[in-house]
């Protein structure tokens, strides 16, 4: 008889536990929901400043970098960029492969901690393949958003850039002498708080590396390509950042 009572007790306990655990498991499933995916293009975003483009990049050597940039006006030292970088010396798992990189530049005077780098997404990228990138910024608070293939992958703030007119540009660079890069930017569009069509902007080159050239096919199609030369022994794209790039900047006509 005692054995029968014990079996009955265990069965009732099992039913109680299952009834109690079911809602808990359901609650856990609800908490484990994936974060909402935020998508956007220049036509749908609310941020006042933006630049977007389809990008195809190829390169060779120790390092090459292709990016969209929003800069503070001349005379200021801050900016943000979002792009594709290959760097043999990057920290694992981003070394020796093409990867996304967001730069938050509080100052370009090489003061410690004034340049902050983020890897917003670890995704397998292939040289020669087309990717769509967009970089935006909210004027009031300096919050920048990075979009990869029309999905937002990072949100960062540079409060020094709040309430400033910004200069958009496309840029490529090499790391060491002999590094080669070629990037085709197509379907480039630029937005500021006054106008949202690229036709209202003028594209002009401001290359800082003598062997990296700019081809402006139209305001919405730019090719930057060449080889990095002229660095002194021990210099690279960090210590000589003002001599390693091909750049096309957009300005309001």
Residue 55 lies in a domain: yes
Tell me whether residue 40 is in a domain.
no
Residues 123, 26 share a domain: no
Got the DSSP string for 19-54? Answer: HHHHHHHHHHHHHTPPPPPPB--TTT---SEEEEEE
Residue 47 has pLDDT above 60, yes or no: yes
Q: Stretch 149-164: mean pLDDT, rounded?
A: 95
User: Would the CA dihedral through 222, 212, 76, 204 be positive or negative?
Assistant: negative
pLDDT digits (tens, 9 = 90+) for 66-99: 999 999 987 678 999 999 999 999 999 999 999 9
CA dihedral 74, 77, 177, 221 (to 10 degrees): -50
Domains identified in the chain, total number: 2
| 91: number of Cβ within 10 Å | 9
26 shares its domain with 59: no
Q: Are residues 132 and 13 in the same domain?
A: no
- Tell me: do 91 and 155 sit in the same domain: yes
Residue 155 has a pLDDT of: 97
The 10s digit of each residue's pLDDT in 168-212 is: 999 999 999 999 999 999 999 999 876 655 555 788 999 999 999
Spatial separation of the C-alpha atoms in residues 209 and 245, rounded to whole Å: 5
pTM reported for the whole predicted model: 0.84
């Amino acid at each position: 008889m005692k054995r029968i009572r014990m079996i009955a007790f265990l069965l009732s306990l099992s039913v109680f536990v299952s009834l109690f655990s079911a809602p808990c498991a359901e609650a856990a499933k609800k908490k484990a929901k994936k974060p909402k995916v935020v998508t956007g293009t220049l036509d749908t975003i609310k941020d006042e400043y933006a630049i977007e483009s389809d990008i195809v990049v190829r390169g060779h050597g120790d390092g090459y970098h292709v990016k969209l940039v929003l800069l503070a006006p001349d005379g200021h030292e801050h900016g943000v960029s979002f792009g594709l970088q290959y760097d043999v010396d990057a920290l694992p798992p981003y070394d020796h492969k093409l990867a996304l990189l967001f730069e938050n530049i509080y100052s370009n005077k090489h003061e410690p901690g004034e340049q902050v780098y983020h890897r917003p997404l670890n995704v397998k990228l292939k040289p020669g393949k087309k990717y769509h990138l967009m970089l935006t910024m909210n004027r009031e608070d300096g919050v920048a958003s990075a979009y990869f293939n029309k999905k937002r992958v990072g949100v960062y703030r540079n409060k020094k850039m709040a309430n400033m007119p910004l200069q958009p540009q496309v840029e490529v660079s090499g790391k060491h002498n002999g590094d080669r890069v070629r990037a085709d930017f197509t379907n480039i569009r630029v937005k500021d708080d006054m106008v949202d069509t690229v036709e209202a902007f003028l594209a002009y080159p401001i290359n800082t590396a003598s062997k990296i050239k700019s081809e402006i096919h139209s305001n919405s199609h730019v090719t930057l390509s060449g080889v990095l030369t002229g660095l002194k022994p021990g210099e690279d794209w960090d210590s000589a950042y003002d001599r390693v790039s091909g750049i096309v900047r957009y300005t309001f006509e």
